[in-house]
Amino acid sequence: MEFDRRSLLGMAAGAAILSTREARAGNEPERILLWPGTPSGAPEILPVEEIKEWGSDPANPDRSRRGIARPWIEVFRPARPNGAAMMVIPGGGYAWVWMEKEGYDVARWLAGQGYTAFVLTYRLPGEGWADRANVPLADAQRGVRLIRSQAKAYGIDPERVGVMGFSAGGHLAADLLARFAAKTYAPVDDADALPARPFLAAPIYPVISMSAPYAHPGSRDALLGPNPSAALEAEHSPDRNVPADAPPCFIVHADEDFVPTENSLLLHAAMRARKRPVELHIFGEGGHGFALRNIAGKPVSAWPDLFLRWAKAMGLPR
């Protein structure tokens, strides 16, 4: 991956990007808006934010969010930075963005391992945006570019920015792996001259295929709309779009998942066909949505350490 480091460190857009940071109270993470102003393709009436609590334990909230008009990333800084960053992409079937379980929990764990973690809250395709199927990818591309543009401020190597996504967020991480170079939006500032290709990608129990028989119908319909064409399904199935320069990929799935394990097998086969580095772990139990909370005492509890060892072998942390 090559880009002009002098331009990166001295880019004129820096002040504009910094001005999008919102002051956060207490121990809340710093929030950085992805776009200066309302993103392009906005509906006439902007979505209104809604947060839903799915759990019953106040000490362990399990919330999701929708109605996202101005997407953002939130920063979790490590006590001992290892020079690398990870952008965490929660799932939610492209109808919600799961906040804690697949976002903040994972970011805190990564920060504890030395990674500077950024949780992406992305726009949802069914909320009136133009070019709905590319809206989440546009936010993911922009997120990686903004992180790189602020690498000096966060003490990270701008090349070493990985992504990890869960469920539909795993689809988005895989879509970024496959279509990082796709032109999903017009550049808005100097940050958009930076590459969106992640150093590596980790789709965890991902949705991959958008076609029967392996597509997760809810995620497909939310992303593509009703009755998508075969061409649209193919365009948004990452296994069909893996490029020759795809970043390394780490995949985790459980056999009893309602998102068929074949989704991960398809991505694994596509990476192997391109002779790209890939590691796949399929566990016999674990269900869907386990992330870090629901793995104690199960074989799937091995996945976090497996990822850390693999990421180190790939050269992500210094």
> Going from the N-terminus, what domains does the chain have, and what CATH number goes with each?
5-37+82-314 (3.40.50.1820)
The CA-based angle 60-66-69, given to 5 degrees, is: 130
- State pLDDT tens for residues 212-226: 999 999 999 999 999
> Tell me, what's the pLDDT at 1?
53
Instruction: Say how many C-beta atoms besides its own lie within 10 A of residue 314's C-beta.
Output: 18
User: Is the pLDDT at 196 greater than 60, yes or no?
Assistant: yes
Q: What pLDDT was estimated at residue 318?
A: 79
Q: Which pLDDT does position 220 carry in this prediction?
A: 97
Summarize pLDDT for 103-134 with one digit per residue, the tens: 999 999 999 999 999 999 999 999 999 999 99
Residues 6+ apart with CB under 8 A from 242: 177, 178, 267, 270, 271, 273, 274, 276
Instruction: Mark out the alpha helices in the chain (DSSP H runs).
Output: 5-10, 14-18, 105-112, 135-149, 151-154, 168-179, 217-224, 230-235, 262-273, 303-314
* Among the listed residues 235, 171, 244, 157, the one whose alpha carbon sits nearest the alpha carbon of residue 201: 171
pLDDT number for residue 8: 46
Exposed / middle / buried, residue 28 (Cβ in 10 Å: 0-12, 13-18, 19+): exposed
Mean residue pLDDT of the chain comes to 92
Is residue 318 classed as helix, strand or coil in its secondary structure? coil
pTM, rounded to two decimals? 0.92
pLDDT of residue 27: 61
Cα 297 from chain centroid?
27
Confidence of residue 55 (pLDDT cuts 50, 70, 90): confident
pLDDT value of residue 300 = 95
Cα torsion 180, 114, 20, 47: sign: positive
Amino acid at 242: V
Task: Reply yes or no on whether the pLDDT at 293 is more than 70.
Answer: yes
Specify the pLDDT at position 294: 83
Q: How far apart are the first and last CA of the chain?
A: 16
Cα-flanking dihedrals φ and ψ of residue 172, to 5°?
Answer: -65, -40
